Amino acid sequence: MSFDKRNEEIRKQREIRRDEGKKSDAKKRKKTRKKSKNKALPVVIISGLIIAIVLTVLSLTVFFKASHVTVKGDSRYETKQIITVADISSSQNMILLNKSKVERRIINALPYIGKVDVKINLLTSTVTLVVYETEPFGAVKFNDEFLLIDSSGKFLEKTTNPTCRKIYVEKVETPEVGKVLSFGEEGDMETLIKLVKTLEKLSITEITAIDFSNSSDIRLLYKDMQIWKLGTKSVLSNDEEIEYKLKFCIKESQSEEGKMGVVDVSAMTINDVTKYGYFREEVVTPEEFVVPPSLPEETPTEESSQIEESSDNSENNETEEDDESEEENSESSAESDEEQEEDTSNDGENEL
């Protein structure tokens, strides 16, 4: 029995040593694999960076060229004209294409295009220009013509017979097609745009004229029958204030449908509910909607003073000449009287 026990212990010790050997071998192999991975990692990273750089360079220089340019959307301009203005060459890389610059070029050069979306398809190498046309909102009086503008204030073109609502302003600066029109004082165009957008928001489409020429009395002509007096420009700089006044005006006009008159909301303000607007009946003539401002008194210039002096001198000369001619006439009449007296005296002597 002792011999069998000894053999059993020897066998267990051998198994233990064999297991310990396997564990040590596994640890050695694991360490070896870690070392090989650590050595391969930098190689993989560097290779990935090189591949990424090569692909980037190729995509920016060789691939993704704008081979095709197409136009979508309704417009009065021809497709060829829009593509020419966009100025996108066939060698243009679509990834580097500046979309905002393309949009600005088209909108500035072709005024009746109000918005442009530039879409890129890398798979088909196609740039698509989606254009949206703008419409005239109003016609600004300028000398003997009218300047058509859209709801953003952009100058579209000149005309002598506008079909849209007329807008009367002061001090219109030299207009440039495709650019926002400038007039009056600083901020006037922004206030007008706010007014326009509020009219569109409230779906008020029957305003036939806007008088923006007097900073203290902004007026709208509704259906050529009623005048809406909104008040000063400073009050209209607030969107909520504009909407508050316009809502009252449209409500009053609808309740007084068919009547000529004035809706006066110049004293109304959203911050003071004690001030009311009102409607009063009176004859409204569209032709007399805009009251021309009183002309300032002219200050005399050097030329005008010289002209006045010359006119005064000429008048004085004329009066002097008249006096001299009167004196000569009086002298000649006196001489003729003396001659007549001498003749009568001679006739008396002859009779004697």
Q: What is the pLDDT of residues 95-112, one digit of tens each?
A: 888 899 999 999 999 999
* Separation between Cα atoms, residue 253 and residue 260, nearest integer Å: 9
- SS3 category, 124: coil
- SS3 category, 211: strand
Residue 173: its pLDDT value, please?
86
* Separation between Cα atoms, residue 300 and residue 288, nearest integer Å: 32
DSSP type of residue 150:
-
Residues 109 and 189 grouped into a single domain: no
CB 169 within 8 A of CB 141: yes
Residues 120 and 196 grouped into a single domain: no
- Tell me the average pLDDT across 275-279: 91
Structural domain containing residue 254: 138-285
- Tell me the average pLDDT across 152-176: 91
Give me the residue label for tokens 């989606």.
Answer: 130
CB 313 within 8 A of CB 305: no
Q: Which of 218, 208, 223 is nearest to 242 (CA)?
A: 218
> Which of 133, 150, 184 is the endpoint of a domain?
133
Question: How many independent structural domains does the chain possess?
Answer: 2
Residue 276: its pLDDT value, please?
87
- DSSP-derived secondary structure for 237-286: GSHHHHHHHHHHHHHHHHHTTT--EEEE-TT-BTTBTT---EEEE----G
Confidence of residue 255 (pLDDT cuts 50, 70, 90): very high
27 located within any domain? no
C-alpha pair distances (Å), 122 with each of 97, 119, 125, 233:
12, 10, 5, 50
Residue 124: its pLDDT value, please?
87
Mean pLDDT of the chain: 78
Residues 278 and 152 grouped into a single domain: yes
Backbone phi and psi for residue 21, each to the nearest 5 degrees, phi listed first: -70, -40
Q: What is the pTM of this model?
A: 0.62
Confidence of residue 49 (pLDDT cuts 50, 70, 90): confident
**CATH code: domain of residue 213:** 3.40.50
24 located within any domain? no
Residues 123 and 159 grouped into a single domain: no
Confidence of residue 210 (pLDDT cuts 50, 70, 90): very high
Indicate the range of 66-75, 207-216, 326-335 predicted with least confidence.
326-335
172 located within any domain? yes
Q: What is the pLDDT of residues 212-240, one digit of tens each?
A: 888 889 999 999 999 999 998 887 878 89
Give me the residue label for tokens 């060829």.
Answer: 80
Residue 288: its pLDDT value, please?
75
What is the share, in percent, of the chain residues with pLDDT greater than 90? 39
- Tell me the average pLDDT across 58-83: 81
The encoded tokens of residue 324 equal 């001299």
Residues 226 and 245 grouped into a single domain: yes
* Neighbouring C-beta atoms of residue 230, cutoff 10 Å: 25
Residues 181 and 221 grouped into a single domain: yes
174-178: which pairs have CB atoms within 8 A and are 24 or more residues apart? Answer: 175/142, 175/147, 177/111, 178/107, 178/108, 178/109, 178/110, 178/111, 178/154
* Separation between Cα atoms, residue 136 and residue 120, nearest integer Å: 31
Indicate the range of 209-223, 246-260, 262-276, 327-341 predicted with least confidence.
327-341
Indicate the range of 116-120, 208-212, 219-223, 282-286 predicted with least confidence.
282-286
Residue 347: its pLDDT value, please?
44
Name the burial class of residue 299, with classes exposed (0-12), middle (13-18) and buried (19+) by CB atoms within 10 angstroms of its CB: exposed
Residue 91: its pLDDT value, please?
79
* Separation between Cα atoms, residue 130 and residue 118, nearest integer Å: 6
75 located within any domain? yes
* Separation between Cα atoms, residue 158 and residue 175, nearest integer Å: 10
Residue 348: its pLDDT value, please?
42
> Which of 114, 133, 152 is the endpoint of a domain?
133
Residue 65: its pLDDT value, please?
84
Q: What is the pLDDT of residues 293-302, one digit of tens each?
A: 443 444 444 4
Residue 78: its pLDDT value, please?
93
Give me the residue label for tokens 């409500």.
Answer: 251
Q: Check whether 55 has a pLDDT greater than 60.
A: no
Residues 118 and 142 grouped into a single domain: no
Confidence of residue 79 (pLDDT cuts 50, 70, 90): very high
Q: Check whether 246 has a pLDDT greater than 80.
A: yes
